[in-house]
Structure 1
């Protein structure tokens, strides 16, 4: 006998959709209020009662459990107030893989939250796994509990390599082996990540040792540019080293991160859009002639842009120019 699929009554299905949309809305507003530094809006999203909980499991500090809304607010409000004082555009947060179960007056929701890698350390860049438990009070959904597990290493879309302090390769991301075979300055030698030329070996060794010190101190860090030389010893090659979830990860190349970092530095130093295009071309390993051809301008125009950037940043070489731009952080009041 064929079994007919049960259908929710129209009104019940509509109410279910309304609840789902309201749940997503309050979750997104709680996060948005945190990012924009709005304490009152953040508090309004919560069940302000003693049974509220906030659990954050981080490899750097272990699990942190806050019981009761007063304890949650005491811990969180100073961070939210700091966000209100920060300069710059708030990071764009994406959420995906929503799974929501709704009861009469209680619901739970899980989702992945993605924060761009160039968002800065306070914004906790990466992919994070979230769970929310919600309660309905006076017809409005409120957050009663948060459980949060960061998972930044699962976020990278660029080829990456996880290594220990001596460069031994522990794990590789998608297409990383292929990227290493053609990388301008890094290569895989047996089980190790190595520089292609001896001039860069010490730089790589020092960068990995610094990352290991951060791990020993149970501290994370967003990606930091490591400037190396191309195999021809004349062009620049840039990789990024980050400490994520107490692991050292080398990003073999990230065009989006490179562009956003240089543009942020350009805002600090007051560089023109054309100057930033030239700087980015140099950072991608182009010489001035190649940069001129790539940008569709005369070589003398590129040289003029470079000379003016030298003057503004008080540097005298292209490597120093790029190093300064990639190490610049937005100012804070």
Structure 2
């Protein structure tokens, strides 16, 4: 792991050695080495807010240790070639008596292994250590993804109770046009969509495994004042995040569909119309083509995407790129 040049005292070098040992041990699947870097005590803490792991709060080694071990066991293999390429910047280490803290930014490049669901890009990290019996041990781990923010996100527990609301989400909840808060729970005014929303929340919570669970996103279509809208239920470690409104233009999803399924320009335009709630007949009238021609294009889209209905087509297209 490349480290910046910095003048360090002997104690700071000891702290840095523990940080390097912890990092290498995790990605090399070395459980004994990872456990040796941490204090095995009730007061240890792990906090994270990342795109691939969501909001995580773990207390005590009795909880953190088994989860870390399970996640390490789930790695496909020791990732030595990627770990060596992780860049670290803005390193600061301070030592005061038997306590020390270190802050830094790591830039992960693990997309060849995990794709979009794994740690890719910069993460701001903090470690607090204490010295016991002459050895430094980590007692606090904090991770923050600097790319988060600007989304209408509601963090909920397994039963849908609201834990945290972003400013953008609060603005959507205030008029209560599509989503409301009832008895402290997030609900959708569209009854059918609400059933799917609650089921997706329960499923996402049930997938909570490991130290930072792999992110999974499920789209939910709901009726709004102007047109059908999408929200996303995203599985997070210990919690569930609901993105109330997918603000990305449908063109982004259709562009991805063109690449994934090999749609022609006309098929892409028709697919875009379907996603936006228009029928093939309406599309035919807009383009001045015969309805039979539009239906032929639609059948060819179905064949390429592997679906049999417009509902199935929309579900696949909106699932291509969950919000990042």
Unaligned runs of 5+ in 2: 8-23, 40-44, 47-55, 66-70, 130-137
Partner SS for 1:158: coil
Q: Does the aligned pair in 2 maintain the 1:163–1:248 contact within 8 Å?
A: yes
Deviations along 1:177-196, whole A, 9 cap, x unmatched?
21235687433346331112
| Match among 300, 307, 315 for residue 308 of structure 1 | 300
Correspondence for 1:270: 262
The 10-residue stretch of structure 1 (223-232 or 183-192) with the greater mean CA deviation from structure 2: 183-192
Q: Is the 8 A contact 1:227 1:236 kept in 2?
A: no
Which of residues 278, 297, 303 in structure 2 aligns to 1:287? 278
User: Contact 2:204 / 2:216 at 8 angstroms: preserved in 1?
Assistant: no
* Partners of 1:310 and 1:222 in 2: CA distance: 28
Question: Pairwise CA RMSD of aligned residues?
Answer: 6.2
C-alpha distance 173-258 of structure 1, shift in aligned 2 (>3 A): farther
Inter-CA distance 81–215: structure 2 relative to 1 (3 Å threshold): closer
May I ask how many residue pairs the two structures share in their alignment?
271
Tell me which residue corresponds to 1:122: 118
- Cα shift at 1:249: 1.4
* 2:158/2:239 contact within 8 Å kept: no
User: d(CA) in 2 for partners of 1:282 and 1:156?
Assistant: 30
TM-score normalised per structure 1 = 0.52
Distance in 2 between the 1:19 and 1:260 partners?
44
Match of 2:158 in 1: 165
TM-score (norm 2): 0.54
CA distance in 2, matches of 1:77, 1:266: 37
Specify the alignment match of 1:220 in structure 2.
213
Match of 1:175, SS state, is: helix
Please state how far the C-alpha of 1:207 moved relative to its aligned partner.
Answer: 1.0
Matches within 5 A, 1:236-247: 236-247=228-239
Q: 1:217 to 1:100 in 2, by over 3 A?
A: closer
List gaps (5 residues or longer) in structure 1: 1-16, 21-32, 40-48, 66-74, 86-92, 134-144
Q: How does 1:99-114 map to 2 (within 5 A)?
A: 100-101=92-93, 110-112=103-105
